[in-house]
Structure 1
Amino acid sequence: MRTSMRRVGVAVMTAALLTGVAGQAVAVSPENREDAAQDSAQAAGRDRAEVRRAMDEVVATGAAGVVMRVHDRRGEWAGSAGVAELHRPAKPVVDGRFRAGSITKTFVATVVMQLVGEGKVGLDDPVDRHLPRYGLDRRITVRMLLQHTSGLFNYTGDVKPDGTTDPGIPMWGQDYVDNMFRTYRTDELVRFALTKPARFEPGARHSYSNTNYSLLGLLIEKATGTDYDTQVERRILKPLGLHGTSLPGTRTGIPGPNAHSYMAYQHGGRLKTVDATRMNPSWAGPAGEIISTTRDLDTFVSALLGGKLLRPDLLAEMRKSIPAAAEGSRIGLGLFQTDFGPNCTGHGHTGGTQSATTYMYSTSDRSKRVVFSVTHGTIDSADPAAREKFGKTIDKLAALALCGTPQR
């Protein structure tokens, strides 16, 4: 696997800061039986077996479980690996719900693009025109927020010019656990971020910042007169029938069937593992609070790239990309473009919380799609080697599912 792709998986686990169990598979009826018939049962079984083995490898790194959905020319397949709860034998429910983290941003970006199409917001409008109460640099535009080129400090933690960490709100370890049920307001998080100096001149380069999407959530509210989550529900969730998807606000639980997810960290000279399934997600808000399923996210990314949510010109604008901070990746407006293998580029987003990692990617023509969520188990979040190993395995899983072959 190339170094550039290894960094994608590692970056997911750090973005919020900044024994293998046999897989459980559920076959889903193919959409195109004629194409599926061209593949022998032996080849299909071998292909899925490779994906299942890759899922088991993820579990072997210390993850608790994996739920996954793959769409390709043979149709659709879903499966799970690992356990739904540590020290218990039950496997994760294939259609269970999970926290999808920053995949929230693609939903928010879609709503913003719809508002652009309605003439309520302009991509090159100064954000200060819509949200004057923050005194933002007037060079910062809506497009820059969507593409993470504003230079605004990331309220969950950022990196100083000298390479050292500039901490944000409590995000890891005992500090996070002590604040796990604290309620944050989006306005509070934005104002905190603005107490920090800008990372660079607006538009100079790409640097991922949750603050950008907190502001976009407030922008949606200003343009529509309702909360951003109301607009996401009206414009995306209800029209697409995404019944397993929700924006919880301050609600601490995950509705419906779900696996447990954990955060492991060093405390008092030993590795401590905390069940972080229940927590107050208000720290994430428009930047990462969404709860969903593999089925719903597959439906969403297919509808988005298929033009069901945006006019062709708006979708084309959303997909225009620039080099992202991570090597081998580019970013559009709420969409990443990542090379998973030769002639195999994925369009979508990843999501990371303290206790879960999610991938949602599709090829440009939507013929191949992959969505999976990994619930963390005993992975030491402060151990670079553990993060690197975890990153390699989830990137291998994504490449196998989307491209059919692992990265070299």
Structure 2
Amino acid sequence: MKEKEQKKKNIAEVQGVKIIPLGGLEQIGMNITVIEYEDNIIVIDCGLSFPEDEMLGIDMVIPDVTYLKENIDKVKGFVITHGHEDHIGALPYVLKDVNVPVYGTKLTIGLIENKLKEANMLKSTKRKVVKYGQSINLGCFRIEFIRTNHSIADSAALAIFTPAGIIFHTGDFKVDFTPVFGTPIDLQRIGEIGKKGVLALLCDSTNIERPGYTMSERTVGKTFDNIFADYSRSRIIVATFASNVDRVQQIVNSAVKYKRKVVIEGRSMINVVTTAADIGYINIPDNTLIDIEQMKNYTDDQIVMIMTGSQGESMAALSRIAASIHKKVSIKPGDVVILSSNPIPGNEKAVSKVINELSMKGAKVIYQDTHVSGHACQEEVKLIYSLIKPQYAVPVHGE
């Protein structure tokens, strides 16, 4: 009885339209939300999450999609807001049981295709690239993609037109008037949607306890320049999220400015940078990138490495280097390691362990002012609410 009551509690039904979170609420990660009207279902995002400390032997957590499998005939497609793991990471697993088309922006679909290729599912999965301002029709739903800013390019908000009214999903967002790539969030279109009358707003609430505004991504570029200038004789290693293409671009910019060669290390980092470069979303000048094997041909002050492992993931490149189990790179006294991210809740111990191991080997570890959030703070959230003026508010992506 209690389980049925809990399931009922997690379903918001307004004027015949149901909003059913299968993940992403009351937790960080594993974002997946069902929008249902009569015999029509669309699924917003399909992410994974990191395991909790007590989940020994578990590498990742994927959502329970029993509801989708039970209603497979109603499901029209997956609509993806952006290409972060907590929004696309579970797709290769879920699509095995719920094989419907996937819709997203250019970079988002490119990153999804990488995952499908690894899972040998590229041919069996339909994908469609959607441009900003373009709408798609799925059953009784019309979904418009609207430009936003986040810590990955090609992020989108979704205006979902249903027979019961408009549902507006912000996706993960911030208001950045000076983005590294692309143009600022389309506040004009968001305001126009608001004037049409919005039934419900699903708004990114990750930073709702932080006053003010989130700093622009460009501010991190100045920090990199300062670090590169201060440690001009040291080998520099930067760990960040593989998907943060804007961050990688700024590291490359600093490397070029200070005449350093760039080594990309870590499978996911290589995949993302390759995909972004192929579609023109990252600019790496000729003769800047070198293979890891070529590092021996250069002095320490000519090298910067960009790699995975900023979250202390056990098998990521930086973690293996810190633990002295990386086959090609060893830390030596005088190395400078920049952690360009904040620990995701639950990863603090793993990150601290990596910092300790690096410090004991004589590396200088820097993590102050090397990251800005990709999520809106209070004033930006207020702005979206003032533009949308929803009848119902559904905070998402916060815990």
Q: TM-score range by the shorter chain?
A: under 0.3
Whose radius of gyration is greater, 1 or 2? 2
TM-score (norm 2): 0.28
Greater relative contact order (Cα 8 A, min sep 6): structure 1 or 2? Answer: 1
TM-score (norm 1): 0.27
